[in-house]
Every structure is written in structure tokens, then in C-alpha cells.
Structure 1
Amino acid sequence: MIIFRYLTREILTTMAAVAGVLMLVIMGSRFIRYFSDAAEGDFPASILGSLMLYHLPGFFELLLPLSFFLAVLLAFGQLYMNSEITVLVACGVGPERLLRVTLLPALLITALVAACSLYLTPAGALKNEMLLELQKQKTDFSVLGAGRFQQIGDRTVYAESMSDDNSELKHVFIAERGNDGATRRDDSEPSQSVVRAERAFQDVSEETGSRYLVLADGSRYAVEPGKSASQRLGFERYAVRVSEGQSEASLKDDIELVSTRELLATQTPEAQAQLQWRISLPLMVPILMLIGLPLARVNPRQGRFARLLPAIFVHITYLSLLIAAQNAVASGKYPAAIGLWPIHGVYLALGLWLSWRDNRGGGR
């Protein structure tokens, strides 16, 4: 029991340190991307915290298997460095006993990864998309900034100022380049138009969810390249569609946002590939543990990091093969009935062979 507590503490402590460092790197990179998008006006900075929170399960499902694998290597490597494994073997604690002791924290990590990959990650990804879509449909201009040019689709929008409640733009300018059959007959060349309005506000269609920029008290000028003729249209109200609405059902066209329960009832190649990928992530944990224990066996003069580079290469190839197989299944180039399982079988066989070889050597 003392050995179990000691080894479990060493593994989980090392794993927490490794996962913490990797999490900071990945979250920092994603935060910079989101912050850049917020600075460009794609969404308000106030929702950055929620976006990062919903991404956490997706980070954990990828980081925990790698962190646990490295923790097994580092923790047991330190035990070999200090000759503690030799003492344990002399006391009757062989490689099989060490494997059973390590299996319990491995099952705990497997359960956490399964909860993330099967339930939390798709739910968080869907929440993220719904949150971003909700921001697009809000009836204020929190994602727009006054005094600068911003790109919205194929339009360039500029507003001189904004109302105090962010609900209305003042002195709006819009430049658009695109097809306009009303102002020209030849569709081979794109038309150009400029719209100026005293004020503008947003409106959302209750039927379609589409968002419109409604301009008031202004004029629209349309010209054709290479021609001196132009058209001027004065208006009291002029609506420009900014984005099309999306419901939760339409967002689920992205297979990564579909729940695991719905994937089980879907037989398309994309759904089967996504389902097998979600199952593969927790399945990696015990297989990597089986590989990691023999790889952690080092000579005290080699150092605890002697096997770290080969072990990282094993993990990278394992994950890369799973991703390649998932893409092949999703595209229909590889049968879903076979799927990702042969890759797990190969690495499981590798772990069993390494463990058998380690047992023959007595674990010393």
C-alpha cells in the first residue's frame, strides 16, 4: 500500500507539472489568436473568458494522454536513476506488480479523457459556436469600432462615431465591390458602389436569424469600371445583409459539434470516423502506459531523459497515424469497419512485447 501511494503520488505530481506547462503554451497560443480576432472587431473582448473555458476539454483530451505518458517515463526514470527499482525488485516487487500499481492512476486518467472526448469537448465546441453566432446577431455594435475601417464580408464599413449605448452608428460609409444587376447589364465585370448614410442600426430577422445593417437618410452611388456613367439613389431606409443566421441544428452540420449519442445513431463515414477518434483518445492512455514502463528503464549513468526522445517519437507517430486513419475513414478511402483499431493493435502489441522483454530481464 505504501508503494502504491508513493508511485501514484510521483506519477500524478509529475503529470500535473507537465500538463500545466503544456496547457500554458497551448492556451497562450489560442488566447493570442482570439485576442487578435477581438482586436479586429470579430467579437467583443468580454467573451474571451467564456471562449477559453469552453476550449478547456478539447485541450485536456489531447494533453492528458501525453502528460501521463511523460509522467510515467520521468517518474520511473528517476526511480531507476536512484536505484530504487533495484531495491523494490530485491524486495519481491517485480515489473508485473509495478504494472498493476500504475494501472490504477492510468484508469483514472482514462476516465477523465473519456469524459472530455465523448461529452465535454463536443458540448464545449457547440457552446463556442453558439456564443460566436449570438454575438453576430446582437442588436448592438459591440463588435464594430468607430473611427476605423472594418471588413464585413465583401464590404468595407467606416463609421465616424457611435451612440453611447452602442446601438447606432453615426455618419456611415460603406464601399462594396460585387455583382449588381440593377446598375449594369454585363456580369463579366464587378460593379462598385458607395453608400453614405447619416446613421445606421442593426436588425435581426425573426424568421431566418439573418442580421442586417439598416442605413437611414443617405445615398447610394453605383459605378461601372471604365465608364463615366453612374447612378445615385437616395433613400430613407436601406438594408444591407451582414450575415446569415444559423440555428443550433445548422451548426451541427459540423461533425465535430455533434454529440456522441447522435454519432452512435449515424452510419455515415464522417460520423464513424469522428466516433472512433473520440474513443481512441482514452484508449491511448493504458496503451501508452504499457509502452512507457519498459521505456523508463534506464541505466543510472544514462540519465532519466535518455529515453525521452524515443518515447516522444512513439507518441507522435501514434497520434499521427490515428489522425491519418480518421481522415481516410471520413473521406471513404478506408473502410469504417476496420477504422482506427489496427493502429491501437500495433501499439498494444509493441507495449506487450516491451513488457515481456522487461520481465525477462527482471526489471533491473
Structure 2
Amino acid sequence: MPDYPQSMPLKSKKPRKYGVFHWSLLREFASTGLLVSSILLGIVVLTQLIRLLGESVSGLLAVDGVLAMLGFSALNYLPVLLSISLFLSVLLTLTRSYRDSEMVVWFTSGIGLTRWIRPVMWYALPMVGLIALFSLVLTPWALTMADEYKRRLESRDDVSSATPGTFRESKQADRVFFLEEMDASHKRVANIFVRSKQNGREGTMVAREGYQETAPNGDRFLVLLNGMRYEGLPGQADYRIVEFERYAMRIEPAELRQAVPSQRSYPTAELIRNPTTWNVAELEWRIGLPLSALILTLLAIPLSFVNPRAGRSLNLIVAMVLFMFYNNMISVTNSWVGQGKMNAATGLLGIHAFMFVVMLLMFFHRSGVNPWRRWRR
């Protein structure tokens, strides 16, 4: 018999188990998380922008400092916003899977509830690391820079910190002035109104234009050109009207206030080196943010279960109640640690260990496992 060449059997590559399951979840987690974080960040930025613009209009903040202070405020809120968006992205994604009966398909395919932990962790761990970076490093830095930047703005003199088109009171509370226009260098101004009170006499000055001038000894003056000065009270004999071509007003230098940093702006290394009660409480708050974000993300897996008989929104209500309870208890325990009513170990581990146990019990409940019965056996 002729020998025919025997074909070698091809080794088929074993497909990665649950690869489609993992990647589909990761994509949906990421898209939902991006949407939620964008909405939350937009709300925070809008509210902070309204507050800062109000301070600018009232003269408490210079116009050119609004955007910088807005950026520092956003960095301050980012750790909490990322924690909320991480929790909601997992919760909303899995809740939708229950409502659309996708969970039934996965469960019948042999994928139990604990199988969801791995893709959730793949999604959550980078986010938790980012939250830890903001909480431990970037947020304290942003608070320090915001305070330093605000101190520099407050150290400006009255003219440099003036906002065109608004009335402003001097830092010595002896003048009220109005500038209609100011160039970008803050050197030249136009259409000036100044009302002052000196030696018991009130005076009002108006001028078409003016500029800032520095004397050889370092004193700074606002020189008004082509204006009028009204001194005294109308109707009295000593009321005077003076027309001038040039009038120099001394600009009082602003006093630079001393920085009084709070625990929130201390670098994390400084909190560790100086372990006072309030420093320890602040350190526990920073460590607790990424830790609580991880526990809440895992807790979202059993919380996403939807019981059609109990209503489709009941699980979301329970989830938000647990979220608020968790965060409020973190704040309460941190306050107790700062006041010396609770030791540091209990404050750091107590509430997180309690919520971890709650998470395990909910996993047992949703998986149909009774841990007490197994323990008795």
C-alpha cells in the first residue's frame, strides 16, 4: 500500500475563559464612569465658578485669580468625586444587566456572582490608585498652593487688585473708588471716581485718566489727570470745588498676612513626622478615601441585584443610604480621633472592617450561602 503523508494534528489555542465577559464589562464600566465623573465634575466646577465670580464682583478676589482658584478647588474635590463615580459606575452597570436579564444569561453560563469580582477589580484598582495619589499628594499640594496664591492676591495694593466697572473699598476702609477701564499692565486707568475721608472732611474726586507712578523712595502713587475735587459738604461755607491737571494719591502698601496652614494642607510626610491627634485624624481621612472607594466598589456587586417584586429602584436607594452612612461614619470617627475620644487604630480600621464584613455577608446572601450553617458543621 502506498504511504500517504500523514497530516499532523493542529494544536488549537485554548480561548481565554470569560474573555468576552471581562472586556465587555470593562468597556461599560469605563464609559459609565466617564459619564458620571464628567457630570459630577461639571456640577462642582459650575458651583465653584459661581462662588468665585461672586467673590470677584464683591472685590474679595481679583478677576485674574478666578481660573487659578477654580483649578485648585477642582483638585480638592477630585478624590471624593472619583470615589463616587467609581461606586456609581459599577452599581449602575450591574443594575442595568439585571434589568435587561443579562445576568440570567451569565449565571446560566456558569458565571457566579463571585466571578464579577475580577473584572470589577481590574477596573477599580487603577482608579483607587489615582484616588490615593490625589488624596495623599495632590490635594494637600493644591490646598497649599491655593492659600499661597490667595495671599499673593491679597498682598496687592488697592489699585492693582481693583476690578474695572465695580466700586471697591480700600483695605484701610478710608476710600471708595471706581475705575471704569484699566490696561493689562494695571498701570494706566481711565474714568476714575474716588471718595475719601481725611481729617474729618469728606472729599470726592473724578478724573478722565490716570497712571501709577513709583517715587525714588519706593512709595507708589496714583496720579490723576484732568479732574475735579469736591471737598466738604454741599451747602456749607467751606465747601470747595477744585479743578486740577495733576493730582497724586499715595497708594498704601498691603500688609501680607501670615500663613496659618491647616492639617488639610500639610504634606502627608509632615503628618507622619508630627503625629498629633488632629494630624493623625487627617492622615486617617486621606488613607480612608481610597480604602472606602475599594470596599464600596466591591459592595456594589451584591447591591446591584434588582428584585422586580420590590421595585426596580429599591437597590439604588439602599446603595445610596449605605454610601452616606459609610462616609458620615468616616467623618465622625475622624472627629473622635482628633478630639482624643478614640484611638487611631480603631478610628482607621473600625468602620472599614465593619463595612468589609457587611460586604461579605451580602455576597453570601446573594450567592445563597449560609456561613453560620457551615461554621456549625
SS in 2 for 1:52: helix
Counterparts of residues 275-286 of structure 1 (less than 5 Å): 275-286=283-294
- Structure possessing the higher relative contact order (Cα contacts under 8 Å, 6 or more residues apart): 1
Shift of 1:150: 2.7
353, 357, 361: which one aligns with 2:365: 357
SS in 1 for 2:314: coil
C-alpha distance after superposition, 1:258-315 (max 9, x if no partner): 1111111111111111111001110012210222111101135666533111111111
87, 108, 120: which one aligns with 1:90: 108
2:316 & 2:194 partners in 1: Cα distance? 59
Gaps of 5+ in 1: 177-182, 184-191, 204-211, 222-235
The 10-residue stretch of structure 1 (19-28 or 297-306) with the greater mean CA deviation from structure 2: 297-306
Counterparts of residues 241-256 of structure 1 (less than 5 Å): 242-246=254-258, 250-251=259-260, 253-256=261-264
2:163 & 2:44 partners in 1: Cα distance? 29
Counterpart for residue 341 of structure 2: 333
294, 297, 322: which one aligns with 2:305: 297
1:62 lines up with 2:80 in the alignment: yes
SS in 2 for 1:93: coil
Counterpart for residue 166 of structure 1: 186
Q: Rate the CA distance shift 1:41–1:77 in 2: closer, same or farther, 3 A.
A: same
C-alpha distance after superposition, 1:180-209 (max 9, x if no partner): xxx9xxxxxxxx897889999799xxxxxx
CA contact 2:168–2:178 (8 Å) conserved in 1: no
SS in 2 for 1:47: helix
16, 23, 32: which one aligns with 2:50: 32
C-alpha distance after superposition, 1:123-150 (max 9, x if no partner): 1111111212122224573422467543
1:311 lines up with 2:314 in the alignment: no
Counterparts of residues 1-364 of structure 1 (less than 5 Å): 1-138=19-156, 141-145=159-163, 149-151=167-169, 155=173, 157-159=175-177, 161=179, 165-167=185-187, 172-174=194-196, 240=252, 242-246=254-258, 250-251=259-260, 253-300=261-308, 304-360=312-368
CA contact 1:77–1:298 (8 Å) conserved in 2: yes
C-alpha distance after superposition, 1:226-282 (max 9, x if no partner): xxxxxxxxxx99775643333xxx34x211111111111111111111111001110
TM-score computed with the length of structure 2 as normaliser: 0.74
Shift of 1:32: 0.2
Residue identity in the other structure for 2:150: L
1:254 & 1:109 partners in 2: Cα distance? 27
CA contact 1:271–1:330 (8 Å) conserved in 2: yes
CA contact 1:172–1:200 (8 Å) conserved in 2: no
Shift of 1:45: 2.0
CA contact 1:139–1:202 (8 Å) conserved in 2: no
Counterpart for residue 232 of structure 1: none
SS in 1 for 2:346: coil
CA contact 1:150–1:156 (8 Å) conserved in 2: no
Residue identity in the other structure for 1:99: I
Query: Percent same amino acid among aligned pairs?
Result: 24
Shift of 1:174: 4.3
Q: Rate the CA distance shift 1:141–1:216 in 2: closer, same or farther, 3 A.
A: closer
1:337 & 1:175 partners in 2: Cα distance? 60
2:119 & 2:283 partners in 1: Cα distance? 31
C-alpha distance after superposition, 1:23-52 (max 9, x if no partner): 111111111000111112222222322222
Shift of 1:332: 2.9
